[in-house]
Structure 1
């Protein structure tokens, strides 16, 4: 595996950045037909359009993010700022080798798709925040009941911000995600922004097992940037 000494994603704070249902299906390895009629929570969802699209497809989806609660115009400003920074970094010559063009033919294609997803989110957020589809909150404490959702998803957060989240946070976050999940949790990716696998995965897996949680790393048919070709699935151990 090719790895890099410096990260391409170097925002000083957590990026307000999102993706579409199509990308979610790929990097979480989701069976959308099997999710119809079931409840799904997207944690740290940002401006992803997964919840909007999933609800239209008959999935009972809810999203949570620290910035939810702000007006749609304020969130649109976050999109413009963070997307501009992220895609400018992606286009820098030194970063070109970091990307695997399997899902998109180019960075331009990825930008068009993700900006369209953000716009779908903004439209849906404006219409459905008042209906309880979007909640403002953050890990490691979520405002939901134990086992309140069949499936819980968390994308592009835990291991991509080593300066913001330490090992103790990872443990607490995984336990909280599992607390609100009835069946399983899916976390993607399991690498840092430099493409290196999460160094504490063995330790994390062991500690979660002691807490009654099984953590399995699974290969996926997706890799937007180097190292992002696996997903972590959490389930409860049989008692």
Structure 2
């Protein structure tokens, strides 16, 4: 196979819309998931990776924060992703309805309330991407197209560790190294469990690896729990 043919195959993988789950959380959920305040974020250059259909970038930039979103999904058009997001939200609601006991119904009142949050995030993300598309960067992890130390803080929600059945330890290691490369100060990852609510099996190994690299690593309980046991984040501080 020629290099041109290989490039076409790689691009096809990136653009396979059916493989993408396009669901996001709201700005307010981010504040709770990562124990944040707007004041803490002011004056910081922030990356949301991968951002999916989250409204963190849209809402944050509207109040003057400096946030960039990146995701493999952004290789697709806004219109295609919005349609996929609507389908994914309905599919997720049907699934969650069947396994309600796997979730804590304190943050959301019921399925309709949850659906409203997800639709709100999708709409805000889609509209903002039309307005300032340069803030939404298509990427294919574990590689990022950013400069060393480009961002002060990086947030990564509902991706790393959650899909431990599909993304192996080496992928997590490579992705963490890339996040460390483009961060100048702090990386926060939420949650620390897989899709079954079990603590990521290699988490202690990764923490040891990070501390050996000179990072300060802390598991922090947060005031947000929807999936059972998903109530902690990993806060990684680089040694400067």
The TM-score, its normalising length taken from structure 2, stands at: 0.89
**Which residue of 1 is the match for residue 90 of structure 2?**
84
Render the CA deviation track for 1:54-96: whole Å, top value 9, x for unaligned: 001111010000011322111112202221221110011xx11
Match for residue 114 of structure 1? 118
Please give the per-residue CA displacement for 1:109-159, whole angstroms capped at 9, x wherever unaligned: 011111111101111111111xx2110003211110111011101100011
* Structural RMSD (CA): 1.4
8 Å contact from structure 2 (residues 20, 73) kept in 1: no
Residue 30 of structure 2: which of 14, 24, 47 is its match? Answer: 24
Q: Which moved more, 1:46-55 or 1:12-21?
A: 12-21
Question: Partner of 1:184 in structure 2?
Answer: 186
Matched, 1:209 2:219: no
1:110-189 superposed matches below 5 A:
110-129=114-133, 132-189=134-191
Q: Distance in 1 between matches of 2:42 and 2:215?
A: 25
After superposition, the C-alpha distances for 1:190-235 in whole angstroms (9 at most, x for unaligned) are 0011111111111111112222323211001110110110001111
Match of 2:231 in 1: 229
State the alpha-carbon separation in 2 of the partners of residues 37 and 57 from structure 1.
12
> 3-state SS of the aligned residue for 2:53?
coil
- Equivalent pairs counted in the alignment come to 223
- Gap regions ≥5 residues in structure 2: 1-17
Give, in angstroms, the shift of residue 14 of structure 1: 4.8
2:57 to 51, 54, 58: 51
Distance 2:178 2:33 in 1: 21
Which position in structure 2 is the counterpart of 1:3? none
Closer, same or farther: CA 13–194 of 1 in aligned 2, 3 Å: farther
- Which secondary structure state, in structure 2, belongs to the residue aligned with residue 183 of structure 1? strand
In the TM superposition, structure 1's runs of 4+ consecutive aligned residues that sit over 6 Å from their partners are none
In 2, distance between residues paired with 1:111 and 1:167?
32
Cα distance change of structure 1 residues 197 and 13 upon mapping to structure 2, 3 Å threshold: farther
TM-score (norm 1): 0.89
Q: Residue deviations 1:168-189, cap 9 Å, x none? A: 1111111211211111000000
The CA distance in 2 between the partners of 1:138 and 1:102, in whole Å, is 35
Structure 1: which 5+ residue stretches go unaligned? 1-11
**1:178 and 1:235 in contact (8 A); partners too:** no
Does structure 2 retain, via aligned residues, the 8 Å contact 1:36–1:57? Answer: no
| Kept in 2: contact 1:217–1:232 (CA 8 A) | yes
Q: Distance in 1 between matches of 2:35 and 2:204?
A: 22
